[in-house]
Amino acid sequence: MLLYCMRRDWAHEFPHRAGLVHLNHAGVAPWPARTARAVTAFASENTRHSTEKVPQWKQKESELRSACQRLIHAEDASDIALVKNTSEGLSMVAYGIPWKAQDNVVFARQEFPSNRILWQSLQPRFGIEARCVDLYKAPTPEDALFSQVDRNTRLISVSAVQYDDGLRMDLARISEFCQARGILFCIDAIQMLGAIPFDLTETPADFVIADGHKWLLGPEGIGLFYCNPEKRDLLLLNQFGWHMLENSGDFESQHWVPAEDATRFECGTLNHVGIHALHESLHMLLEIGIEDIHDMVSSNISYLHEISVENGLDIVSHMDTDRRSGILTIRRPGIDNQGLFRFLLRSGVLCAHRCQGIRFSPHFYTSKDDLDHALRLVCE
């Protein structure tokens, strides 16, 4: 009952058009109403005041870094860089590490292309070995990754949650494994942050990257990049510009050094429209509390799972407590599920076609009525 009341308290932030059911937060999420208002206000300020408002805009940028710090429990806001997307952050890692010819990197075959092809792209350029692992060829997904590690493994890269079936990785176990062997650990957290708690003090990682347009309910074009401050000097810089300098306001100096903090990874002017938007969305999530959001998301997944089983649907996703996420992928047996996906879209149910089935990804505010409506359409 408490979770239901909490959903109702925030329903006004998501005034979707009549008949629209948004179950694709693992794809592209809608903005809360407050986020849309923030972007409108920023546009108005820009039109009326131009650069008069730059100090206030810089303050908003600083507040967003602090919110990102709170979200992942980083030691300091200066450890957070603001990037365009997850792919940019991952590329900073992949092309920043000073690789040696005998090095290898371990990652999963099931990964979204952003966390797969960039490691494969390193082979012809640096001669390192990209070890692509099937997560389901061992007793656990973590065992599958570990089985390909040897003394030349430089880095393990993994998504916290797999995008297609919602498999949740045991990040703490991977972190402990990497720390014991001096292996770098990189997390693509885009399918976790905003829906599932994450704490760097409990699960140390060298790099954590996430775009804001999925579970964080923000816009495309803005995301966070965390780099362990002890590894900051390890990464070679491949983007250069005025913003990444220690004295970024001294335009005439002929002697420059990269910033000491994570702004060294931000080569130029930032996306202030995106900053204003993500600031509002993230502050709303933190106001509600990520633990409470996780409870509500888990409640929605449990309900979807229960009703799906009752209706004879095949469950693709992992439902063990420590493996489940905000994603439930199902199949209706005996039909063309791609055709079913197209029917759902035409009917106003936003979802995705993954694993030859239907991927639902409800957020905390999603009502039981919306879940019932979507499943009725699947089963009719």
Of the candidates 370, 379, 350, the residue with the CA atom closest to the CA atom of residue 23: 350
How sure is the predictor about 55, in pLDDT bands with cuts at 50, 70 and 90? Answer: confident
Tokens of 197: 């708690």
Tokens of 150: 């040897």
**pLDDT at 320 > cutoff 80:** yes
Dihedral, 287, 291, 296, 299 alpha carbons, nearest 10: 180
Residue entry with tokens 């940019």: 88
Cβ(373)–Cβ(379) below 8 Å: no
Mean pLDDT of 126-134: 96
Residue 7 confidence (pLDDT)? 64
Residue entry with tokens 């791609």: 338
The span from the CA of 120 to the CA of 110, in Å, is 14
In the chain, the percentage of residues whose pLDDT exceeds 70 is 98
**pLDDT at 4 > cutoff 60:** no
Mean pLDDT for all residues in the chain: 95
**pLDDT at 6 > cutoff 80:** no
The span from the CA of 341 to the CA of 358, in Å, is 6
User: Quick one: which H or E segment has residue 185?
Assistant: strand 184-188
Residue 5 confidence (pLDDT)? 59
The span from the CA of 303 to the CA of 366, in Å, is 11
Q: Could you give the residue ranges of the DSSP H alpha helices within 221-289? A: 272-288
**pLDDT at 120 > cutoff 90:** yes
How sure is the predictor about 301, in pLDDT bands with cuts at 50, 70 and 90? Answer: very high
The span from the CA of 315 to the CA of 371, in Å, is 16
Of the candidates 216, 221, 214, 278, the residue with the CA atom closest to the CA atom of residue 36: 278
Residue entry with tokens 């949650």: 161
User: Quick one: which H or E segment has residue 55?
Assistant: helix 54-72
Mean pLDDT of 189-214: 98
Mean pLDDT of 288-312: 97
Residue 357 confidence (pLDDT)? 97
**pLDDT at 86 > cutoff 90:** yes
Angle between helices 368-379 and 337-346 (to 10 degrees): 130
The span from the CA of 21 to the CA of 286, in Å, is 24
Q: Could you give the residue ranges of the DSSP H alpha helices within 246-336? A: 272-288, 290-310
How sure is the predictor about 253, in pLDDT bands with cuts at 50, 70 and 90? Answer: confident
Report CA Rg, the chain.
Answer: 21
Residue 50 confidence (pLDDT)? 84
Mean pLDDT of 73-85: 97
Mean pLDDT of 167-179: 98
Tokens of 43: 């546009």
**CA 170-172-176 angle, 5° bins:** 125
- Strand-pairing partners, residue 187, are 158, 208
In the chain, the percentage of residues whose pLDDT exceeds 90 is 90
